[in-house]
Structure 1
Amino acid sequence: MAGRREEPVDPASGPVQRFAFELRKLRTDAGGITYRSLAERAGYGVTTLSQAAAGEQLPTLPVVLAYVRACGGEVTWWEARWRQAVEESAGAGAEKDDAGAEPPYRGLTRFETGDSGRFFGRQQLTADLVDLLRRQRFAAVFGPSGSGKSSLLRAGLIPFLQHSQEAGLRPAAIRILTPGEHPAHTHAHLLTPATSDAGTDTFVIVDQFEEVFTLCHDADERARFIDQLLTARQPESRLRVLLAVRGDFYGRCAEHRHLADALRDANVLAGGMSPAELRDAVVKPAKAAGLTVERALTARLVKEVADAPGGLPLLSHVLLETWRRRRGKTLTMAGYEAAGALDGAIAKTAEQVYDRFTGQEASAARRTLLRLVTPGNGTADTRRPAQRTELESIGQPETARVVEALVRARLLTLDDGTVDLAHEALLTSWPRLHGWIEENRERLRAHRKLTEAAQVWEDLGREAGALYRGSRLATAQEHFSDAPREDLTDLEHAFLTASMAAREQTLRAAARVTRRLRALTMTLSVLLVLAVIASVVAYRQRQAADAARQVALSRQLAAQSTTLMGTNPDLAALMAVHAYRMSPTSQAVESLYTASAMPLRKTLQHLYRPSVLTLAFSPDGRTLATGDRDGIIRIWDTDTGRLRNRLRAHDGATYVVAFSQDGRTLATGDRDGT
């Protein structure tokens, strides 16, 4: 090839030929380097490099960049030039005469029952599902987002059932539903078996069963709906039920014990496609439409999707976009690259639509798309279908135009007034939308709760008891009090306004009660103080009267004790003690000392000569302490006159003795103050 002369290329023949002509010129400007030398520098074979400049098809970007580096060209400029050639080639590819042809691929939208003629690659999984339904009246298919469960049910299973002549699989009717926010209430009529003379069963297919966890927030209604479905386990119900559940909600199904029991041995897993199945999904729809797919493109798609879990919607979308950029009857690698390849096709389509929006339309698009998202809580984010009236009640006139544009681009679906994301792949494959979700995750959670609470309030006839209060109102105000009016629907705005008004009314009522309580408290406080003063005065008066009576009685007893000293000393002593205990007046002390001193005097005179300098009676009058000139303290029993104890307190004379109030401690003092 290196020594053979290249066929001439006319740059005016098209973008591919023009790009090949420019590559050849680059090699010539590099000194006419041979393809053999070029291959040694570039790391690609001679044939690959020569075909890159042959003008028959656009080379891949890695080959172009290796070619350019080997020739000493500017890599950045050539990469931009290659992308321009890709766009030009794709734009010139589609034939005019079939511009309105029906595409063989569905893009992000699911296959429907009428699409079975172009639904390929899932024959084995469909057969497994049919076999499961032969054995079980209640079953489920689990699979990750993007594994094609919805398309499998509609374009694979349902057409089989519709044409089945097998007794157990010949349906009286086939009903397909998605749970939504109020499944038990909304779908009760669909769970009544159809009348059939043949005694056949009604098949109920519940797609996106995970909505019972993401959209239905009433645990009781969720349980009722599941119980309704589980009646299919009984043959007399004349129902058969098949659930399609996203794989990351498998654990949530175990929260309902009977549901977990029913699915233990009654489920299949929708895994990835085999290479042969992927090849069928790529090639056979095109073949059915009279088209072909370049072998290199087929091989690349099979390789890339095999390594992409949940990559089927990406495959379907990039095939649709490649079909739009086809050359004649062929889907080309150039068209695939122009579409953005597997990872970038969704983002490219979305950005192309978004870039055509005005500023107001872009704002409406952001609000609309975020309303169609339920942020995950320990699980991946999910779609949230919304009524078109909800979206348009935001108040932006641009919303309707935005919805129509996104539906035309197959990024949204519009079905019987319900707007939904075409596929959850949008949530991760469109960086702009993914960024919006991450920036507003907590606000989105609060918004979903606000939307639900507002609808409950509306359903209850705007009952005051359904309004937000406390922390829920505080959270809503934190996120939405300063938000633009267009962020909330009319209902949400009315609900939040009513909640704040109810709180203000409660606060005003509480303030009035507080003021009344304060006035009442002040009045009661004054009355209480007056009552306390009166009580204290009365108490003190009673206390004073009691004390006066005690003093008078003490004096009377002391006087009687003195009178009886000579005739009845024992009685005199007893009366003196009682007089002292009642009130230690001077008369009582003197009487007690006189009565006690009579037997003590004899004892003192008999046992001890020095005179007593001080004495003190205990509070109960039963003990007498004396202090003498020699510093000795003597403790006497006043009843018997006997000496109880003898203690040395000081080196010199003891001048002071005194008992504590409880009579357990005695204090003494001498002349030096010790």
Structure 2
Amino acid sequence: MFEGNPFPGLRPFEFDENYLFFGREEQVAQLLQRLGNTRFLAVVGASGSGKSSLVRAGLLPELHGGTMTSTSIAWDISIMRPGGDPLTKLAQALVESNLFGDVNEENVLQTRATLSRSGLGLIEAYRQSDIEEGSNLLLLVDQFEEIFRFRQSGDKTGQEASHFIQLLLETARQTEFPIFIILTMRSDFLGDCAEFQGLAEAVNEGEYLIPRLNRKQRARAIEGPVKVGGAEISPRLKQQLLNDIGDDPDQLPILQHALMRMWDYWLNNANREQALDLDHYNAIGRMTEALSRHGDEVYNELPDDDHRLLCMKLFKAITEKQGDGRGVRRPLPFSEIDEITGHQREKMLTVIDAYRPIGRTFIMPGENVKIHDKIIIDISHESLMRVWQRLKNWVNDEADSARIYIRLCETAQ
């Protein structure tokens, strides 16, 4: 019998949750076909369109299952996000995939040095790895748009970003070794690709633009996990959910969050023989209010005003509204958050822990990961910045403060 909640909420579906991942079968088949013809694939879509889930819970399990017959059935998979130090992140991803013996800091540093030597560094790292002969290596660079924000933060970071992209492009061009590159990227950052030599051309050639789910596919995404969980959903609730989500891809994570909350409410307040129904949906605030209610619920449960003030500082630190109005994640190591918020480590840990248990995945990593100085703290999805009203206000306040500061600096000059 299934235990737990079959809906992940705001975070993406993971590799081992492919049995809960419904409605994308046609898109997974298309990705497999594309990957059979190219070494460089850019999975592009609007925020909330399910890019990470499609690759992690859709494509990768199929590769491990040997579905792609045009190449070896053996796959080693490394997953990373570029952040502010893409070369180190790449080295860590390769080492943590057990390609270089023990997982330790020394191997990370050695691999990073190899990657840094030339534009062929990733190919050289493959040569030096313990990967079995004939095995494919797939590198997934998730949230690729992070590279554009960090490029703007300084000369050294910009140079490293350029070198990282050169590594990807040179690796994708060669055919001697079976190395495949997949990016996931928000479509509103496509124009930023022109900042890097050769990137726009590669993305144009290897782009897979995620199509919107049709109504039947959205229905499968709702009904499938409910059935896996051993429950039923009333026809009227299914129709209401489909009507509420409409055609907006940004609503998909909001739908997943509402379904997660509704499942928990149903589990705790209803007879398990009863189908999920409108009463349960109304109780959690529907899609329009469920996320704001949930975020505020955690906020109000914090021990005191000091913790609530730190909560505001935390979310302001790890989110950002750019000059063009785009809301973006701003993942930071815990040590930097601790410094920004005044070295109140224990209180900050209390705040972070309040927002990351199962069922409350507003902040990543999840509760199973111990927080230390180098751990990256991030929001689980950009939709938080658009739908949780309290955070939306904080993000706007921070953007207004930044604009005022810039104007004051310009006036002083």
Measured against the shorter chain, the TM-score band is 0.7 to 0.9
In structure 2, C-alpha distance between the alignment counterparts of 1:301 and 1:260, rounded to whole Å: 38
Instruction: Specify whether residues 276 and 242 from structure 1 end up closer, same or farther in structure 2 by C-alpha distance, changes over 3 A only.
Output: same
1:574 alignment counterpart:
none
Contact 1:375 1:444 in 2 (8 A): no
In structure 2, C-alpha distance between the alignment counterparts of 1:266 and 1:446, rounded to whole Å: 41
How far does residue 439 in structure 1 lie from its aligned partner after superposition? Answer: 1.6
In structure 2, C-alpha distance between the alignment counterparts of 1:176 and 1:108, rounded to whole Å: 19
Provide, for residues 353-399 of structure 1, a one-character-per-residue CA deviation record: whole Å limited to 9, x for no partner.
11222211110100011111122232511111122233334323421
Instruction: Specify whether residues 279 and 172 from structure 1 end up closer, same or farther in structure 2 by C-alpha distance, changes over 3 A only.
Output: closer
1:264 alignment counterpart:
204
Q: Secondary structure at the match of 1:345?
A: helix
1:134 alignment counterpart:
36
1:395 pairs with 2:357: no
Provide, for residues 162-189 of structure 1, a one-character-per-residue CA deviation record: whole Å limited to 9, x for no partner.
1115242634411111001011344246
How far does residue 475 in structure 1 lie from its aligned partner after superposition? Answer: 4.4
Q: Secondary structure at the match of 1:374?
A: strand
In structure 2, C-alpha distance between the alignment counterparts of 1:109 and 1:445, rounded to whole Å: 31
1:109 pairs with 2:54: no
2:271 alignment counterpart:
328
- Counterpart residue identity of residue 348, structure 2: T
The one of 127, 137, 141 equivalent to 1:206 is 141
Instruction: Specify whether residues 389 and 257 from structure 1 end up closer, same or farther in structure 2 by C-alpha distance, changes over 3 A only.
Output: closer
In structure 2, C-alpha distance between the alignment counterparts of 1:125 and 1:188, rounded to whole Å: 30
1:412 pairs with 2:315: no
1:176 pairs with 2:176: no
- Counterpart residue identity of residue 227, structure 1: Q
The one of 226, 230, 246 equivalent to 2:165 is 226
The one of 166, 175, 186 equivalent to 1:246 is 186
2:109 alignment counterpart:
none
1:285 alignment counterpart:
225
How far does residue 227 in structure 1 lie from its aligned partner after superposition? Answer: 0.5
Contact 1:205 1:241 in 2 (8 A): yes
1:124 alignment counterpart:
26
How far does residue 242 in structure 1 lie from its aligned partner after superposition? Answer: 0.7
Describe how 1:379-394 pairs up with structure 2 within 5 A: 380-393=326-339, 394=342
How far does residue 237 in structure 1 lie from its aligned partner after superposition? Answer: 4.3
How far does residue 263 in structure 1 lie from its aligned partner after superposition? Answer: 2.1
In structure 2, C-alpha distance between the alignment counterparts of 1:314 and 1:411, rounded to whole Å: 12
How far does residue 328 in structure 1 lie from its aligned partner after superposition? Answer: 2.3
Q: Secondary structure at the match of 1:142?
A: strand
In structure 2, C-alpha distance between the alignment counterparts of 1:173 and 1:144, rounded to whole Å: 28
How far does residue 444 in structure 1 lie from its aligned partner after superposition? Answer: 5.0
Contact 1:132 1:267 in 2 (8 A): no
In structure 2, C-alpha distance between the alignment counterparts of 1:445 and 1:389, rounded to whole Å: 26
Q: Pick 1 or 2: higher relative contact order, CA cutoff 8 A, min separation 6.
A: 2
The one of 51, 63, 77 equivalent to 1:161 is 63
Question: Which stretch shows the higher mean deviation, 198-207 or 181-190?
Answer: 181-190
Instruction: Specify whether residues 201 and 382 from structure 1 end up closer, same or farther in structure 2 by C-alpha distance, changes over 3 A only.
Output: same
Q: Which runs of 5+ in 1 are unaligned?
A: 1-97, 448-470, 479-674
1:606 alignment counterpart:
none
In structure 1, C-alpha distance between the alignment counterparts of 2:224 and 2:385, rounded to whole Å: 29
Provide, for residues 273-325 of structure 1, a one-character-per-residue CA deviation record: whole Å limited to 9, x for no partner.
11111111111101011111111111111122123331110010000111112
Q: Secondary structure at the match of 1:265?
A: helix
Provide, for residues 172-211 of structure 1, a one-character-per-residue CA deviation record: whole Å limited to 9, x for no partner.
4111110010113442463432544442331101100000
Contact 1:118 1:284 in 2 (8 A): yes
How far does residue 264 in structure 1 lie from its aligned partner after superposition? Answer: 2.0
Contact 2:64 2:75 in 1 (8 A): no
1:518 alignment counterpart:
none
In structure 2, C-alpha distance between the alignment counterparts of 1:223 and 1:388, rounded to whole Å: 26
- Counterpart residue identity of residue 188, structure 2: D
1:374 pairs with 2:277: no
In structure 2, C-alpha distance between the alignment counterparts of 1:171 and 1:245, rounded to whole Å: 26
Contact 1:168 1:200 in 2 (8 A): no
Q: Secondary structure at the match of 2:356?
A: helix
Instruction: Specify whether residues 353 and 444 from structure 1 end up closer, same or farther in structure 2 by C-alpha distance, changes over 3 A only.
Output: farther
- Counterpart residue identity of residue 213, structure 2: M
How many residues are aligned here?
355
Instruction: Specify whether residues 288 and 225 from structure 1 end up closer, same or farther in structure 2 by C-alpha distance, changes over 3 A only.
Output: same
Contact 1:297 1:332 in 2 (8 A): yes
2:394 alignment counterpart:
436
Question: What is the TM-score with the length of structure 1 in the denominator?
Answer: 0.50
Describe how 1:641-660 pairs up with structure 2 within 5 A: none
In structure 2, C-alpha distance between the alignment counterparts of 1:260 and 1:133, rounded to whole Å: 19
In structure 2, C-alpha distance between the alignment counterparts of 1:169 and 1:283, rounded to whole Å: 35
Provide, for residues 630-650 of structure 1, a one-character-per-residue CA deviation record: whole Å limited to 9, x for no partner.
xxxxxxxxxxxxxxxxxxxxx
Question: What is the TM-score with the length of structure 2 in the denominator?
Answer: 0.80
1:595 alignment counterpart:
none
Contact 1:103 1:320 in 2 (8 A): yes
In structure 1, C-alpha distance between the alignment counterparts of 2:404 and 2:334, rounded to whole Å: 21
Q: Secondary structure at the match of 1:160?
A: helix
